Amino acid sequence: MAYTVGISSGYFKIASQKGSGAEFVAGIHQKIYNSSRFGTKFTQVDIETITEFGQPGLKDAMKKVIKEGFEFGIHGECEAIGRTTLFLDSPYRDQYKLSHERLYLHLKHSGELGAKYMLVHSSESEPFVTLWHDLKPVDLVDFNGRPLRKLFEENPKLLDWFWKFINREDMPAQLRRYIVGENRYFEKKIESYYYSHEGKQPPKEEADKMRKDSKEEADGQLFDFFNSQESEYGPERLAYYIIAKYMMNSYDVLWKNIVGKDLSDADLIAKPELWVSAVAGKYIWGHFNTSLPEYKEQNLKKELEKSKMYFVMETPMASPGHELNMRFSNPLHIYYLAECIGSDWVGVAIDFEHMLGSKIDPKETINKFPMKGGNRVKVVHLGAPVPYAPAHLGIPRASDAQVYIYERLWELREKGFKDAWLIFERSGEEGIQDSVLSIKLIAMFLEKNVPPKDLPLEFFGLKEFGPEIKRQELTIRQHMLDPLKGLLTVHEEDFGFFGTSAHKKGKAKEWVEEEYR
């Protein structure tokens, strides 16, 4: 495949653009035809809602599109178009279920139409550090979509750890005020025995039984709490803490690659930036690997295999004020997740604009990719590398933006980046054609294996040998001694043989104007 150059369809919120030609871009097939005006045969179709897949006559129209030689990918619903529907890293039961079902529909419909890839933002959930702001129901599941109780029953040591963890002094009070530990139950039993037995303490055998019963009651109350619909401030944090500890205890590969070490309980509470990405990734992993019967007919990996279509995850646009706090933004972490999911049809989408907007350095990140890691990068969104999203600025030929992009893609190519779609994300209709030409030049010289330092003038839209180059060379030669004027003791000549004749006849101006004709 090598590199395929394409553009995004744009045109969000079409329904509100009446009178502006919206009728010509309403519909997936219409978006593809409209984009073909700009010199590409590939379009990334930005959908506003999955209901677009149900447009009357769409399947027949798309067969015609493909027959005519056009290809396309699908950009799924996202916050930028007002549809935050895919909370793939959420431990809330309802969000887990709805997100899984909606992602399945994205993949199923995209594959049926013949899309080459389906792209989503890796995480658009609320930043972990602000979860305590809002009341949410305490109905939590593990990364496989099961009640947390199942995870605790399979890992008794994890439950023992949690009881100690939840009662730490640095644990936010609102997370533990409704969780009653076994000591409280035990104290009540001792107190009841004391008053019913005339101030006597229970014998050891009786006390041991009370202790055991107290633990069972406390555990039961905890499990009921995790499955309740009561509203609490930020209960999602509890699920993330539990999964983080589970990943450490089980020597999870994703934890090892992203975090790299075990963390203390104090660090879990105080330094979420060190580990939240690993847990968010684990929840996304769960959607592709869950064995729950209720998701048997919505197997995401099987759907990808069936359609031979890539599923790619992209760095999201950061929430204003939380550029450093998004849960799962780093393309390197997305790469590690794609490797762990265990499908050749799962990949990475890179967007330099989104990365810069999340204060992720593209050069530094690419350098951290393992050798051959670039093979997982299947889509690159291109535009001028600015830290504003969504800017979607053009890439003029011979611009700093063109050079910057080439340098980063060259670094990625050295890590195995050989087959991918290079997509110019448009914001309007200004500068599209020049940007497409610029990207085509980038693709051409990447495929020729030309290092950035050896890029010829052709890369910048100029010819190595042509009249404009010769004129520039002649001008340079003619004026290269200008700094020495007035400093030489020999007679200085301002004109050559023909120029001198023209000057004597009062035609100096005409000579200058016609000199290079």
Q: What is the mean pLDDT of residues 439-461?
A: 96
d(CA 86, CA 102) in angstroms, rounded, equals 7
The answer to whether residue 162 scores a pLDDT higher than 70 is yes
Encode pLDDT of 471-495 as tens digits: 777 778 878 877 877 776 555 555 5
What does residue 322 show for φ and ψ, rounded to 5 degrees?
Answer: -130, 40
Q: Under a CB-based contact definition with an 8 Å cutoff, are residues 420 and 446 in contact?
A: no
The answer to whether residue 517 scores a pLDDT higher than 90 is no
Q: Under a CB-based contact definition with an 8 Å cutoff, are residues 346 and 288 in contact?
A: yes
d(CA 50, CA 252) in angstroms, rounded, equals 34
Q: What is the mean pLDDT of residues 411-435?
A: 92
d(CA 510, CA 381) in angstroms, rounded, equals 51
pLDDT-derived band at 163 (thresholds 50, 70, 90) equals: confident
Q: What is the mean pLDDT of residues 17-28?
A: 71
Q: What is the mean pLDDT of residues 275-293?
A: 97
Asked whether the CA dihedral 104, 105, 108, 111 is positive or negative, the reply is negative
pLDDT-derived band at 325 (thresholds 50, 70, 90) equals: confident
Encode pLDDT of 76-88 as tens digits: 998 877 677 899 9
pTM of this prediction?
Answer: 0.85
Encode pLDDT of 330-351 as tens digits: 999 999 999 999 999 999 999 9
pLDDT for residue 491: 53
Q: What is the mean pLDDT of residues 296-318?
A: 96
pLDDT for residue 516: 53
Q: Please state which of the ranges 17-26, 293-302, 408-417 shows the lowest mean pLDDT.
A: 17-26
pLDDT for residue 172: 74
Give Cα separations from 309 to 46, 387, 428 (angstroms).
17, 31, 28
pLDDT-derived band at 206 (thresholds 50, 70, 90) equals: confident
183's CB contacts (< 8 A; 6+ apart) are: 214
Encode pLDDT of 39-66 as tens digits: 999 999 999 999 999 999 999 999 999 9
Residue type, 294: E
Domains within the chain, CATH numbers bracketed: 3-131+269-460 (3.20.20.150), 140-251 (no CATH), 467-514 (no CATH)
153's enclosing H/E stretch is: helix 148-154
pLDDT for residue 135: 72
Per-residue b or e along 475-492, where b marks 16 or more CB atoms closer than 10 Å to that residue's CB: eeeeeeeeeeeeeeeeee
pLDDT for residue 121: 96
Encode pLDDT of 494-516 as tens digits: 555 556 676 667 766 666 655 55
What does residue 358 show for φ and ψ, rounded to 5 degrees?
Answer: -105, 15
